[in-house]
Structure 1
Amino acid sequence: MAEKVTAERLRAWWAHRQGLDGSLRGAQPEEVLAATGWARSVGGSGPYLGLYARCGAGREAVDAAVAALAVHELPSARGCTYVLPAGDFALGLAVGAGAPEGDIKAAAKHLGVTAAEVDALCAAVVGALGETPMLPAAIRTALGDEVRALGEAGKKRGLSTTLPLALGRLQARGEIRRVPVNGRLDQQRYGYVRWGLDLGLLGAEEAQAELARRYFAWAAPASLAHFRWFSGFTAAVAKAAVAGLELVDVGGGLLLPGEWEEEFRAYVRPKKPRYALLAGIDGIHLLHRDLGRLLDAADGERTFLKRSLGGLADAPAHMIVDRGRLVGLWEYDVEAEEIVWQAFVEPDAALRKAVAETAAFVRDELGDARSFSLDSPKSRAPRVAELRVGMR
């Protein structure tokens, strides 16, 4: 007999679809990303933590997948960087292509950068690059006067030279790609190489529809507003993108592909806890960016650094989840080489085991668990201190 569609069952279903129930154990990183969605990357540990929790992949395996171009970090949805599987490279670039072109239009309007100037610089960059990564400083040196300084006006707009405009356009077109200098995803220092990715003939509308199909495979049930957050599409574009998906409303405006409705209605929430320690920007949250859906009502009243969890758009620290419910917060203390955490539930052996295993992974393979590239032990000290007050 089918269970009622409760918040608890919805969360468990989302965790199931996200592979946080052990169903993807042993899968390859590219398989996990194809099944559960693109991993947001901001120079932090999120992709590593997410893949470790889902399939058990260590850093060496993930880095090998990056080196082999089985997965890659690319500008994609909303122009933001995500780690994508190879089968989605062209799609990711297609749906993110508007961002660099928007930057070029803004530079033309406010900084006097001409289309001809950008075109010439793009050709020069491609000519300078090869298979050995070049750092931006080396590219500027090689191109000399072809890279123009944009003065104080440019600095105020976050654009000191014309080079980022060319690099952004060329990445979006698949002509070049950026490579992490040490092969790791949890930093933001890159060199650039020539690429030449075949983007196919995917038009804008086809790309938008394909992104919608993938999104609802990863995140459903989800609302149109959730999809708009992830995609950055306008209301009209989002509505057109989902038009051919035959989505059904399972309650509260949450939409699900029709072919999954029977399975969803029959789904039974597991009785045993299944804990995972994830980054605050993991897909279980960020695909919807609706933190309240992961919280029990009472937990929304909890405060962290004097802020109510129920009033936040994002988790204030890394997350501990159990069957889709946010049941705790954690951070890594580099000096003590340990995870500092608080749980909203009474810790059991399974939770302590998940904490211990993740702590060993971070300590032995990552060295730290940064939220983003500029997250440092010093900047996270207030979060660690807050967690230590109630550490169990």
Structure 2
Amino acid sequence: MTAARRKITAEARRARLGPRHLLTPATRAGTPEEVARRLVALHATDPATVFLSVAARTADASAAELERALYEDHSLVRMLCMRRTMFVLPTEFAPVADAAAARAVAVRERAGLAKVIGEQLGHDAAWFAATQEAVLAALAARGEATAAQLADDVPDLKAQIVQAAGKPYEARPRITSRFLGVLAAEGRIRRGRPLGSWASSQFRWTVAEPHPELAADEARAELAARYLDAFGPATTEDVKWWTGWTLTDTRKALAGTEAVDVDLDEGPGHALPHQLEEPPTPEPWVALLPALDPTPMGWRHRDWYLDTGHKAELFDKTGNIGPSVWWNGRIAGGWAQRPDGEVVTHVFADVGADARRAIEAEAGRLTEYFGDVRVRPSFRTPLERRLSA
């Protein structure tokens, strides 16, 4: 007779969430590196997200500390990897993410751009290779450079392509950004310090050291284990969605971990052995998490921490979550930064006086962190738009 699988309730998952993701007052981290290691990787599609995700999880939040890790010590690295999404992750873990996810993304990015360049500009693989070497030489000579400076050094980067031809939103961008994006995806160059504030999306570029070659199967198993340690228990669909792998690769990677099968409210799942223990009751906690924060974006199945009736307010049309307010393991509302810099919040239901005071205090802490910096998420949601007006 097959032994019954352990049932892990949504309540138990919520009890683990705050301490594991460094969101309770007692578990906040001391460094940005600690935050990235605990969460595997930090979403970086919006540059501000990384800073705000770290700020929510550190006792003495400082943009300068994250800038140190990214641009001086290089202990954190920004790279395109899981599901073709930009992340910031610990530099020592970058080779695993590269072999497990980024390498395949880079192949597709290069092939896609080469096809467009061939069809629209008539350039072949030899042109692509020569232009690549010219860019790397120019960047090595400068030390660091903006995309515009590199286009001045390598004029072929100024060539234009047509996007969405014949549509009302037809565009004719230069190939500069896409070409540099391919080199970055391949680990040949990396984004350096941005122009302007920490929230800027215009980066300088520098030459990068190539990642060591790792076996893809072993790297995927390690990434799956890291994911489960941070986000488990989780379903197969959660792992597949978060990584961007095929179902076959997902199942193979999970089989290479120490995960055991469990039952979750949404169906069969996987947990590491230490996650089978009943979690202690955590201290009450509140968090104001930014758009695309790794916690709300960690699972495909979200009913255990989000009332589905509020999804339309918090997500845009393509499934990107906006700024969210959390109370004891559940999303309780949202927040936004107004043009004057004030952080304002909205909760969907009465959470009690203690929660309201904690939310107000966290909004004040975040307002202080922003200082003179103003941020508007790239993916805007209905609630964020109303609150920021």
Please give the range of the TM-score, normalised by the shorter of the 2 chains.
0.7 to 0.9
The Cα shift of 1:140 comes to 1.0
Of the three residues 118, 129, 135, the one matched with 2:146 is 135
1:38-187 aligned within 5 A: 38-56=41-59, 57-67=61-71, 68-94=73-99, 95-112=101-118, 113-130=123-140, 132-144=143-155, 146-147=156-157, 149-152=159-162, 160-182=173-195, 185-187=198-200
Identity %: 24
Contact map agreement 1:63 1:184 (CA 8 A) in 2: no
Structure 1 residue runs of 5 or longer lacking an equivalent are 386-392
Change (3 A) 1:174 1:309: closer
The code of the aligned residue for 2:237 comes to A
CA distance in 2, matches of 1:158, 1:91: 36
Q: Does 1:212 find its partner at 2:227?
A: no
The Cα shift of 1:266 comes to 2.4
1:340-355 aligned within 5 A: 340-355=345-360
Q: TM-score, normalised by structure 2?
A: 0.83
Contact map agreement 1:44 1:371 (CA 8 A) in 2: no
Q: Does 1:239 find its partner at 2:255?
A: no
Contact map agreement 1:300 1:311 (CA 8 A) in 2: no
The Cα shift of 1:102 comes to 1.3
Contact map agreement 2:341 2:367 (CA 8 A) in 1: no
Contact map agreement 1:247 1:257 (CA 8 A) in 2: yes
SS at structure 2 position matched to 1:370: coil
Change (3 A) 1:154 1:86: same
CA distance in 2, matches of 1:69, 1:159: 35
Change (3 A) 1:170 1:87: same
The Cα shift of 1:201 comes to 2.2
The Cα shift of 1:315 comes to 7.2
1:327-338 aligned within 5 A: 327-335=332-340, 337-338=342-343
CA distance in 1, matches of 2:345, 2:328: 21
Q: Deviations over 1:58-77 (max 9, x none)?
A: 22222222222122322121
The Cα shift of 1:39 comes to 1.0
Counting matched residue pairs gives: 370
The Cα shift of 1:48 comes to 2.1
Contact map agreement 1:50 1:279 (CA 8 A) in 2: yes
The code of the aligned residue for 2:247 comes to A
* Bigger shift: residues 34-43 or 111-120: 111-120
Q: TM-score, normalised by structure 1?
A: 0.82
CA distance in 2, matches of 1:110, 1:317: 33
Change (3 A) 1:62 1:311: closer
Contact map agreement 2:49 2:292 (CA 8 A) in 1: yes
Q: Deviations over 1:44-103 (max 9, x none)?
A: 532222222222232222222222212232212122111111222223333223223213
Map of 2:3 onto structure 1: none
Contact map agreement 2:191 2:205 (CA 8 A) in 1: yes
CA distance in 2, matches of 1:159, 1:91: 36
